[in-house]
Amino acid sequence: MGVKVHFIKLKTQLEDEFQGDLEITSESTPSATGWFEVEVNGKLVHSKKEGSGFVDNDQKMATIVAAIEEVLGK
């Protein structure tokens, strides 16, 4: 799966689960596969650029969801 397709899939999954609560950004970079960040209420909960890595398995997605729920108090 291409990086852009992967980003759209992740973004859609998270926005569907947490409608209106997230800011998700992504940017392509020439020297890497880009970066992907998830911010909730001004708090960064995932950043590939900051070392959280590429979201490529269910455990990493579960970690992001748990962090979002913690920030939201769910």
pLDDT in tens, 38-72: 888 888 888 887 877 788 888 988 998 999 999 98
pLDDT at residue 1 tops 60? no
CB atoms within 10 A of CB 14: 21
What is the domain-level CATH number for residue 15? 3.40.30.10
The helix/strand/coil state of 44 is strand
Residues above pLDDT 90, as percent of the chain: 11
Which element (helix H / strand E) includes 69? helix 58-72
Total tally of structural domains belonging to the chain: 1
Average pLDDT score over residue span 19-35: 72
Q: Residues 6 or more apart from 27 whose CB is under 8 A from it? A: 34, 35
Q: What was the pLDDT predicted at 54?
A: 80
SS (HEC) of 4-27 = HHHHHHHHHHHHHHCCCCEEEEEE
Tell me the residue range of the domain where 36 lies.
3-72
**Whole-model pTM?**
0.74
